[in-house]
């Protein structure tokens, strides 16, 4: 069953995700099929020191909402080459610690998981969605993060998504990351950045479960929505 959700909610989420993670980068190329299993497997092998990946709730621009209901989920996928290109344009060879792992020349990423977000169907702004439901959490052990670096490349990214979003719907970080990985690996994804129209067409041609569903897109991010039983539903229009 498909479920319509708030237009304003997706607009706010898209704006936030761009501000936090990507800037606009447009490049239309011919589609070339791949699967998520082809994502760089060298990533985990190159794991070294992640530095300080703690996420401080009081520093978050949006803050906490531990009372909002969880009505559906939004899987946010990001095109990594555009992110790294922007980081290099901004910082040159002095990349911030949070981008070192993802943008290292040793690692090659295409589409990656930005996050899996529990959502409030009646949200009127981004602050109405569940966030930091368990408060400011301690950093997870590196051993918990390592298995997921090949799909969500950054210790601080994983830590932040668990604290901000995962803790609102999952009992443990392991369960949250496993669900992210299962959803990600259920998808076939192009290995080139496409225009909005071409991306939608490619995804629906190569992922039967997405046919008929309304997907969200904003510059370098793709959004796929699921109900609480993990069936694909319409994202906000």
Q: Which residues are catalytic?
A: 114, 161, 165
What is the spatial distance between Cα 61 and Cα 125, in angstroms, rounded to a whole number?
A: 14
How far apart CA 221 and CA 77 sit, in angstroms, is 6
Could you give phi then psi for residue 87, rounded to 5 degrees?
-65, -40
CA dist., res. 10 & res. 72, Å (int): 13
Question: What is the CB neighbour count within 10 angstroms for residue 12?
Answer: 20
CB environment 180-209: b (16+ within 10 A), e (fewer):
bbebbeebbbbebbbeeebbbebbeebbee
Residues sharing a CB contact under 8 Å with residue 202, sequence separation 6 or more, in sequence order:
31, 33, 190, 194
């Amino acid at each position: 069953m498909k479920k319509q959700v708030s237009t304003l909610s997706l607009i706010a989420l898209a704006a936030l995700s761009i501000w936090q993670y990507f800037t606009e980068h447009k490049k239309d190329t011919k589609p070339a099929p791949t699967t998520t299993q082809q994502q760089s497997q060298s990533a985990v092998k190159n794991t070294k020191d992640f530095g300080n990946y703690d996420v401080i709730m009081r520093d978050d621009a949006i803050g906490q909402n531990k009372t909002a209901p969880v009505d559906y989920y939004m899987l946010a996928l990001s095109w990594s080459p555009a992110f790294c290109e922007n980081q290099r344009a901004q910082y040159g060879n002095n990349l911030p610690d949070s981008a070192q792992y993802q943008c290292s020349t040793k690692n090659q990423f295409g589409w990656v998981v930005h996050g899996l977000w529990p959502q409030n169907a009646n949200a009127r702004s981004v602050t109405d969605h569940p966030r930091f439901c368990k408060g400011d959490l301690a950093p997870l052990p590196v051993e918990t993060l390592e298995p997921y670096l090949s799909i969500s490349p950054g210790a601080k990214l994983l830590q932040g998504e668990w604290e901000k979003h995962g803790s609102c719907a999952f009992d443990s970080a392991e369960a949250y990351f496993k669900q992210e990985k299962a959803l990600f690996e259920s998808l076939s994804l192009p290995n080139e950045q496409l225009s909005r129209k071409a991306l939608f067409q490619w995804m629906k041609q190569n992922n039967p479960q997405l046919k008929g569903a309304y997907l969200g897109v904003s510059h370098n991010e793709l959004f796929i929505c699921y109900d609480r039983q993990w069936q694909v539903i319409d994202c906000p229009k």
